[in-house]
Every structure is written in C-alpha cells, then in structure tokens.
Homo-oligomer: A and B are copies of this chain.
Amino acid sequence: MKQLRGTPLKRFLRDWRRTHTYESEIIILLDSVTYPVNVGSIFRIADAVGVNEVVLCGATPVPPHPTITKVGRNKHQNVAWRYEEVASEVLDTLHQAGYQNVAIEITDQAEPYYEFSAPSRTCLVLGNEDHGVTRASLAHCDAAVFVPMYGKGRSLNVHISAAVILYHLAHTSSFNSTKSL
C-alpha cells in the first residue's frame, strides 16, 4: 500500500470531488463560540465538509484574526461567511427559508446524532464553550443532537462534535456517489 503525495494526491482529491456530491445545504451558526482557535478549526472543517455558509454571531471573533487564519489554514477565504449580532434573528430568517435549525446540545429532547437524518436544508447551531447554545437560540431550534460520550468526560470540544455531526449529515440523506463513471 503506497501513500499518495504531490500530483497523484491532488488528482485523487479532484477526481473524488467530481464524482461525489451531496444535495443537503448546510449552514453553520456560531452562537458566541469565543475561542479563536475553535473558530479557525471550524472554518477548516467547514471547507472540508463543503458547507454553504458560516454565520458568526454574538461574541464570536471574526476574521481577519491571526489565530483564525493560522488554525483555519486561511479557509475563511474559501467559505462564505458573515457576522450577525443576534443569533435568534438569523435562525428565524433561516427557518422561514426552509431550514431546520439543529442545535448541538444535550436538551430534554435531544437525540444522538446518528439517529438524525439530514433535512435538505440544515442550520447546525454551535454554542459557547462553557455555556452551550443560549436559551434564546434554542427557542428557535427544531431539534437538538449530541455526540454520545462513552467515557469519563462530559463533553467534546465544540469543533470536534461539529466535525462528527457534519460528516454524518453529508453522508446520510441525498448523498450521490457516481464512482462508476
């Protein structure tokens, strides 16, 4: 088995992108995610998963920011993003546009992410590192999902949970593989 590097790797990734797509439209909303390292990592993940937009709200730091640029590998330049102060207003507008707003949060109605099927339009809501998704934002969410914890810890870092759930969303409903072409 041989590692692909350089041109063969580039070609592999390009061919893979051309032959694999998914139909879901995904937006990520950061509801006062305050650490620039998390915001940067989320931009890198957002680019990797191919999300449609990142909306930075409340106390979330915005580009240009040296840590966001470095950790995010400059991917805020490849992913559409905007800043909006009030998350609940954005969620209201998205809901009217047909999005299902889904919080990453353990609530009294939360379900494990792997049981959640991706709607055609999803806004995934990520909350503050300490306080989670605000009550005001939760009031505008249709569902809450969580990443199960099998050990001693009570939580994962927000960008890790987001990556696990985003890839699940991408690879469930409406995933098209045309490998045979």
User: Which residues of A are at the interface with B, using a C-beta cutoff of 8 A?
Assistant: 1-4, 9-10, 12-13, 16-17, 20, 41, 44-50, 73, 75, 78-79, 103, 105-110, 112, 114, 132-133, 135, 138-139, 141, 144, 147-154, 156-157, 159-160, 163-164, 167, 170-171
Contacts and interface: CB of A to CB of B under 8 A. Distances in A.
A106 B7 CA distance: 13
A133 B5 CA distance: 12
- State the main secondary structure of chain A at its contact with B: mixed
A50 B153 contact: no
A171 B167 CA distance: 14
Contacts of A4: 106-108, 110
Contact of A157 (B16, B44, B109, B152): B44
Contacts of A133: 3
A4 B154 CA distance: 12
B44 A154 contact: no
